[in-house]
Every structure is written in C-alpha cells, then in structure tokens.
A and B are shown apart, each in its own frame.
Chain A
Amino acid sequence: MAFIKLIEHSSRRGVATHPYPEKPFEVDELYRGKPVLDASACIGCGACANACPAETIKVETDYGKGVRRWTIYYGRCIFCARCQEVCPVNAIELSREFELAAKNREDLTVVAEFKLGSCAKCKGYLDVSIRHVELAQKLLERSEIANIMQELARYMVMCLKCKRSFFVEKLGEATRG
C-alpha cells in the first residue's frame, strides 16, 4: 500500500518538472554563462587570452591585414570568468546565457578585428591596436608621474624593431659620451 502514500504525496506537491522549453528556464542571478565581448570597448590587449585556462580566447596580430584579431571558441570555454577578471577595460563579461547548443563549430565562435596603429618612425604596422595606444596615452595623462613619462611616451608609438634600434642608438650615445 506504499504507493497510495506516494500518490498522496505527489498530489500534495504537484508537478516538480520544469516546463522547459515551453517556458524559459531562469538561472541564478550569478550564473556564469556565455562570455560576451563588448567589441566597442575591447582594445585587443590579449590579457584575457593570457588568463584563459582553456586557451579558448586567442588574440593574434595579423601584419598582413594590419589587424589584431580576437577570437573565442565557446565549445572549449569552462565559464570560469578569469577573462572578466583580468580585462583592464571590462570589455568582456559573463552573461546568463546558457543554451549554447550548436550544430557546427563555426557557430560557436566570435571574431573581432581591431586595426593596428602605425609606427611613428618606419610607418609600418605597430604591434598593438590603435585603441591600445590611445588608452595608454589617456591613462598616462592622468598619471601622477606624467612628466617623467613624457620621454617614454615616444616609445609607445614605435614598432618593436624601431624601439630596439632607437634604444641601441641611445645606449651608444650614452656610452660614447
């Protein structure tokens, strides 16, 4: 007769099953779902790519096209929010989106391209995006040691090669006289 008890119990409790997909499923407020990039804020610095434990975010420099390319493949993401933690401009945040099933790999990717700046000396491509340089300049203006940093600010708009040769030149000057 145990099942009578069961019927009684379940009639009291009603239906426990969530009526998904008829009604959307509400996850917790702090649920860590799909990381969403705000492409209009990202500077392409690559801090998130460094921090990502699954290395699913990649940031690479394409000198051929002159862009800094930010890519993510959600399939490998473990929703740890380390990218959100390290982003200096808070451009990436984890949303509450969790219904991510996709039929092919391509649908799980996001690609964002940012233009590279140009080198003040050789006019070639800089190794960082225009936005990155702009942010650095903006922050340097607000720095307490802005006057000391003036000299260094010139390096900011130089590519790696020019920076090196400039440095060696300076070093030569210093040692000669």
Chain B
Amino acid sequence: MAILAKMLPQSTSVEKLGEEVKRRIFGTLKRSLYVLRVDTGSCNGCEIEIFAALSPLYDVERFGIRLVISPRHADALLVTGPVTRQYRAVLERVYRMTPDPKVVIAIGACACGGGVWYNSFAVEGGIDQVIPVDVYVPGCPPHPVAILQGILVALDVLKQKIEKVSYREEKPEEEWKLRPPLALLFERETLVKISWELYRDIMRTARKYLGYLYGVQLVKDYFALLSEVRTLGELREASKKIVEAWNRDPRIAQVVEELNKLVEKHFAQKH
C-alpha cells in the first residue's frame, strides 16, 4: 500500500478544487462534465494542445472532465478554428444538438476572432459570429495550462485573471518617457557622441546577426560599455567583458567586433 500511496497526488488543495468542480458540476448535471471537441477548420495546432492537456502531464481528467464524441452527450463544446464557410451550418447544428445547459469555450486565436484569417472570404471569423461563446482562450495555440484554466474559468472554479486596460494621456509633456536602449542615447555622456545614425547602425548590425531579442539585449550592454570607456583602445579591451558575460560565444565576439569597427569608423570620420 505504501507504494500505491506514493503514486497518488500529494496535494490536498487540488483535491479540494476537484471537490469544488464536482460539487458545481454534479449540482447541475449529476455526473462528470462531458466535453466535445469541435474542429471548425483549425490547423490542428490547437488540437495538439488540447490533447496535451489531456495527457498525464496536465491531466484535465483529474477534475472529472472527459472527452466524448457526440454532441448529444456533451455539456461543453471546446471549439477550435475560424469557422470555415462549409462548417458554419455544421457548427450551428452541433450547437443545437447539444443539450442545455451547455458551455461554449473558444480555443485559440482562430476561434476567438478568426486569427490571421479573420478577413478571409472563406471564413466567418470566429465562433462568436455563429454561436454565443462563454469563455475565450487566446493563444496560437494556447498553452495546455491555459486551456485547463479556460475550462475552469468556464465552470467558475477559477477567477479570470485578465481585464480591460484603458490609458488616456493627460499631460503629454510629463507622462512620456523613453525606454532603453533609445533612452541611453540621451542619458549618458559617451566616448563618441552617439548620433542617431550611429545608433541606427549599431542597432541594425546587432539585430541583423542576433535577431530582435538578443540583438536589443546586446545593444543595451554595449551602450553601457560605451559610457564607461575613455579611449578606443579601452573600448577594445572592455568589449571583451561583454563576450565574457555572454558565455564567450564566438558569434557574439564577432558581432561585438563589428560594432567596434562601426564606432571606430565613426570616430575616424569626426576627427
């Protein structure tokens, strides 16, 4: 028995949550929640994530939620896809065939609003153009945990986390502030006065080789360095520190070398 006890989930609050789910579902249905997955022309990305949510790693079934294959058995519809024109009538029929009370959960960007195909002639552009939707789960595809959360939000077990954000500018002079790396252009005294053109070239070179994420990170590091050094020789020495900080990646070394060359070229032009 000791072995079996080890295999059981250790947490009690998940159990409690399961109890809550059960109480809510059983209160209305007197049995488990049956879910039907409806694919209205999705790319299958969302399906893969739904099946991942069913896998032991995330395990929707521990909340007593099961997949069924007929709308007549279903209490909830997990709808994916942007609703192709061909599928519209089918979706309407599936919705009518599902006994009340029912919950409709739109999974993925396609179902929530058409995704990248929202204005295509061949799709309706979202589930809510055809049938009423109870919960939207954005993502392309959504993370299995996000799908789990979506189902639990639909059952009112979890609270919805996101809410509408509004911002209105009142005093334009005071409210606006620059963010790095552009802010660094105006904040610091540097070896070479960084002109807009030099900034642009540095940014362009770093991003050409490293992409938008690492490129911008490297530029931030590089600007911090530029404000410390006094001469070009020092710059060459100090730039080794960056390579050091980036795990001595030879590719980074090459990009830093390119940036050094840019600054030197710029320096030579000025004097």
A108 to B197, CA, bound (A): 39
User: Contacts A107-B164, A142-B195, A143-B195 hold; do A41 and B116 have CB atoms under 8 A apart?
Assistant: no
B71 at the interface (CB under 8 A from A): no
Contact B138 A17 (CB under 8 A): no
A17 interface neighbour in B4, B56, B142, Cβ under 8 Å: B56
* Contact indicator A90/B180 (Cβ below 8 Å): yes
Size category of the binding interface on chain B = 35 or more
Pick from A16, A106, A114, A130: contact of B57, CB under 8 Å:
A16
A138 touches B169 (CB 8 A): no
Known: A41-B178, A115-B172. Contact between A22 and B14, CB under 8 A? yes
The 0/1 profile, CB within 8 Å of A marked 1, for residues 158-169 of chain B is 101111111111
Name the B residues within 8 Å of A21 (CB-CB). 14, 17, 148-149, 152, 158
A residues 78-98 in Cβ contact with B at 8 Å: 78-79, 81, 84-85, 88-91, 97-98
Residues of A within 8 A of B112 (CB): 75-76, 108
Q: Which of A52-60, A155-163, A164-172 contacts B (4 or more CB under 8 A)?
A: A52-60
Residues of B within 8 A of A148 (CB): none
Q: Per-position contact with B for A4-37: 1 when CB-CB < 8 Å, else 0?
A: 0001101100111111111001010010001001
CB pair B150 A101 closer than 8 Å: yes
Do B56 and A114 have beta carbons less than 8 Å apart?
Answer: no
**Which of B10, B161, B180 sits near A99, CB closer than 8 Å?**
B161
Q: Which residues of B contact A122 (CB under 8 A)?
A: none
Q: Is the CB of A76 within 8 A of B196?
A: no
Contact B179 A56 (CB under 8 A): no
B87 within 8 Å of A (CB atoms): no
Contact B136 A77 (CB under 8 A): no
B24-65 interface with A by 8 A CB criterion: 56-59, 62
- Specify the chain A residue showing the minimal Cβ separation from B128: A105
Q: Are A17 and B9 in contact (CB under 8 A)?
A: yes
Q: Which of B7, B59, B158, B160 contacts A11 (CB 8 A)?
A: B7
| Chain B residue with Cβ nearest A56 | B113
The answer to whether the Cβ of B262 comes within 8 Å of any Cβ in the partner chain is no
Are B109 and A78 interface neighbours, CB within 8 A? yes
Give B194's nearest chain A residue, CB to CB. A142
Q: A22-B17, A25-B145, A77-B109 are in contact. Are A105 and B136 (CB under 8 A)?
A: yes
**A-B contact list, 19 entries, CB within 8 Å:** A11-B7, A14-B6, A15-B7, A20-B145, A22-B17, A25-B143, A39-B169, A41-B176, A54-B116, A56-B113, A75-B126, A76-B138, A85-B212, A100-B161, A103-B136, A108-B138, A108-B164, A114-B172, A129-B172
Apart from A38-B179, A101-B149, A110-B164: 17 A-B pairs, beta carbons within 8 A: A21-B149, A22-B17, A30-B213, A76-B113, A78-B140, A79-B139, A89-B178, A98-B142, A100-B139, A101-B154, A103-B136, A104-B136, A109-B164, A110-B165, A131-B176, A142-B195, A144-B196
List of 10 A-B pairs having minimum Cβ-Cβ separation, nearest first: A75-B112, A78-B140, A101-B150, A76-B113, A85-B212, A39-B167, A112-B167, A130-B172, A75-B113, A101-B153
Q: Residues of B at under 8 Å CB distance from A?
A: 3-4, 6-11, 13-14, 17, 56-59, 62, 106, 109, 112-116, 118-119, 126, 128, 134-140, 142-143, 145-146, 148-150, 152-154, 158, 160-169, 172-173, 175-182, 185-186, 194-197, 199, 212-213, 216
